[in-house]
A = this chain, B = another copy of it.
Amino acid sequence: MKMLINAPETVVADALAGLAAAHPGLRVDAERRIVLRAEPGRAGKPALVSGGGSGHEPLHAGFVGFGMLDAACPGEVFTSPVPDQMLAAAQAVDTGGGVLFLVKNYTGDVLNFQLAADLLEDEGITARTVLIDDDVAVEDSLYTAGRRGTGATLFAEKHAGAAAERGASLDEAAAVAELTNAACRSFGIALGPGTTPSAGRPGFELGDGEIELGVGIHGEPGRRRAAYAPANELAEIAVEAVCADLDFSGDAMVLLNGMGASPLLELYIVYAEVVRALERRGVRVVRNLVGDYITSLNMPGFSVTVCRAEPELMDLWDAPVQTPALRWGR
């Protein structure tokens, strides 16, 4: 499989070099593989740190900056970062307010962030951890006990980041992330597999007329294989799955996320259908993002994340943010 890489072994290091070259607002410690704000956060602000396997760009490094994360720890592709990375990131960005780890619920990430939190406490720095587990597709999956974490991560990083900039304490920022996770549900559909650089071949196989309903961001199996259907039917399936799990009637924020290889033209088509499917259920979309935000390498497909637009959350959503992938209001 042809890819724009130098060698499978150097993919993450090479991409971090490009990330650092592209964004003067970021600083990359190539040795320890941590991505930091070039300008540290305000003294006493709780520091937000996230991370996970690479291959989901712009998540997480693309969300480092004012109003969102203080640091990100990218692991190898689809592989958890290690506790040392997380510890180094946390130590680098703590300014006395403690550290909030935002962790997508995958077993490797959860264990490693737990270890990092313990190590950090040994260093005398207070750590809090919030697990993100918004994907309604399945309980337990290839890499996960319980529900997987996906699109809610973006909302949690945005909301908790805004709260932290505004002066929230560590506990308050953690509470915002928890509230956000509880207010979000997601569901993804793949039209085909992504290809990992190390394997050099598709992560799974789908027939010509087949799709995967409830796919995970590493290509994990979802609820079932189904026959390919037009965008309006796929949007209905995703929205039904999400709304069956939580009552969203009222105002909502929506992330229509591309998995990597579906053109923006197609994502807008799905978005229009998602809005209609939500309206049929009494849900009015008041904020949205359409594009590739939490990808799965070059997987064609999409996921929908719906977040209840509680006034506090919407206010935090609207707050200024300056990161490579999200930027507004300042």
- Complex CA gap A18/B232 in Å reads 12
Given A269-B18, A272-B21, A262–B298 Cβ distance below 8 Å? Answer: yes
Residues of A1-29 at the interface with B, using a CB-CB cut-off of 8 Å, are 2-7, 11-12, 14-19, 21-22
Does A199 sit within 8 A of B, measured CB to CB? no
- Chain B residue numbers with a CB within 8 Å of A328 are 327
- Complex CA gap A6/B295 in Å reads 23
Closest to A19 in B: B268
- Chain B residue numbers with a CB within 8 Å of A232 are 6
- Chain B residue numbers with a CB within 8 Å of A265 are 11-12, 15, 54-55, 57, 77, 297
Interface residue SS majority, chain A: mixed
- Chain A interface size, as a band, is 35 or more
Interface contact A7-B230, CB-CB below 8 Å: yes
Does A288 sit within 8 A of B, measured CB to CB? yes
Closest to A58 in B: B264
Does A290 sit within 8 A of B, measured CB to CB? yes
Contact of A4 among B6, B18, B57, B234 (CB under 8 A): B234
- Chain B residue numbers with a CB within 8 Å of A234 are 4
Closest to A195 in B: B263
Interface residues of A (CB under 8 A from B): 2-7, 11-12, 14-19, 21-22, 54-55, 57-58, 62, 77, 191-192, 208-209, 211, 228, 230-232, 234, 256, 260-273, 275, 285, 288, 290, 292, 295, 297-298, 300-302, 327-328
User: What would 5 more interface pairs be, CB under 8 Å, given A18-B268, A18-B275?
Assistant: A2-B191, A2-B209, A14-B272, A15-B266, A22-B268
Given A18-B270, A18-B290, A192–B260 Cβ distance below 8 Å? Answer: no
- Complex CA gap A17/B272 in Å reads 6
- Chain B residue numbers with a CB within 8 Å of A77 are 265
Interface contact B2-A269, CB-CB below 8 Å: no
Closest to A1 in B: B208
